[in-house]
Every structure is written in structure tokens, then in C-alpha cells.
Amino acid sequence: MISEDLQNLLLKYCEPEHKLLQHIDRETQLKVLMPRMLSGHYQGRVLSMLSKMNRPKRILEIGTFTGYATLCLAEGLADDGMIYTLDINEELEDTVRNNFAKSTFDHQIKYIIGDAQHSLKSLDGETFDLVFIDADKKNNGTYYDLVFEQVRPGGLIIVDNVLWSGKVLSNAQDNDTKNIRTFNDKIASDKRVEKLILPVRDGLFVIRKND
């Protein structure tokens, strides 16, 4: 969405990337299909900052991939906090668990493999301070509806890829683009929340539940 030169400038003026995150990024680029799904340095720092500002006791992440964003979000956890991260890809499980095991946040991460809509049922009793949705785009609205009542007043819901490489501005008729437009319109008309889109990488929708 922005030039490479400007991206390099942004990286110059943000916090450095932890060595473990560098390792996860490098290994993902080399060994995992569709490595562009990884949040990366700049977006990772944005997620970390939002989490630290929120100081959550409970985080929910839908879509783990290789665990990069999970660890960035975990940086803001309260000392007694926990992050639940849900993913359906069993093939990446060993890689992700190894990544978490190298982190100081390992004991605060609950990694759940399975269909997210089913996994969420096991978390019915939890109240979340922060939710990050970065999974199959066709279900953004479904996940939003499923978790909304479990988000505390003043809590955040962050949704990734809402600009879809700029396709939301075009006349593209593919299903993914139409689904993302529909979700964006849904949030724009939701009076229960405050919202804005940050043009970070592929677009982050930051949604705050009204007090």
C-alpha cells in the first residue's frame, strides 16, 4: 500500500524486532506456503503497541499462522494474562509450538487447533479485552458476531486485511473482495462501536466496543 522507501523509513523510527520474531519471519519466508500472511515487523509493532495500551488480561486471536502476531500481542499482557490463539492448520502445529516454547510468554499462551467456530464454544465463559481476527476472510462477520458479547466494554476488536491490496476500491467481483466490503460496511453501520481503519500493510480495522 506504500512505497518500499517509505516502509523502510517507518521501520527506522519504530522499535526493533526481537531476535525470536526475526527468526520466525525468516523461517516462515523460507519454509511455509503463503508467507505473506505473516504480520511482519511494522504491523507486529502496531499490534504490540495496541496491546500494551490496552494491558489486557485476556486476548483472543483467531488465526495463528506461525505465531508471529501472537507473540507481538502477548507483549502487552498483564502479568496474570492469557492469550488464546485458534487455528485450523494442523501441519504447522509443531512449528508453532516450537516458536512459542522459545518465548518468555509460552506459559501465557493457549494454542487451540480446530475449526474456530467450534473452538470458540469452549471459551464461552471468558471475557476478552482484545480480539485479533486474521483468519478466513469470508467468516470475518461470523467471528465478529460470535465474540462480540464476550468483549468487555472498552475492549478492542482488530481485524486484518480489510483493504485487500486496494481491491476494496475497485470493481473487483471476486468473492473475497465482496466479503471484505460487506464486513467493512457492517462495521461502519454498527452503532455499538467506535471504529477506524489504519492503513497498515493490508489494512487493520480497529474497533472499540462502547462503554
Q: How far apart are CA 59 and CA 10, in angstroms?
A: 27
- Look at residue 79 and give its three-state secondary structure: coil
**Chain-wide mean pLDDT for the chain?**
96
pLDDT at 166: 87
DSSP 33-60: SSGGGS-HHHHHHHHHHHHHHH--SEEE
Q: In the predicted model, what is the mean pLDDT of residues 167-195?
A: 93
What is the separation of C-alpha 23 from the centre of its chain, rounded to a whole number of angstroms? Answer: 19
Q: How far apart are CA 19 and CA 146, in angstroms?
A: 35
Q: What is the pLDDT of residues 87-124, one digit of tens each?
A: 999 999 999 999 999 999 999 999 999 999 999 999 99
- Look at residue 158 and give its three-state secondary structure: strand
Q: How far apart are CA 149 and CA 145, in angstroms?
A: 8
Instruction: Tell me the one-letter amino acid at 94.
Output: D
Which residue, 64, 93, 81, is CA-closest to 160? 64
Q: How far apart are CA 208 and CA 130, in angstroms?
A: 9
**Which residues in 163-187 are b (16+ Cβ under 10 Å) and which e?**
bbeebbeeeeeeeebebbbebbeeb
Overall residue count recorded for the chain in this entry:
211
Are 129 and 156 a contacting pair, CB within 8 Å? yes
Instruction: Tell me the one-letter amino acid at 60.
Output: L
Q: What is the pLDDT of residues 30-84, one digit of tens each?
A: 999 999 999 999 999 999 999 999 999 999 999 999 999 999 999 999 999 999 9
DSSP 103-130: STTGGGEEEEES-HHHHGGGGTT--EEE
pLDDT at 173: 79
Which residue, 57, 56, 30, 61, is CA-closest to 44? 61
Q: Which domains does the chain have, with CATH numbers?
A: 4-209 (3.40.50.150)
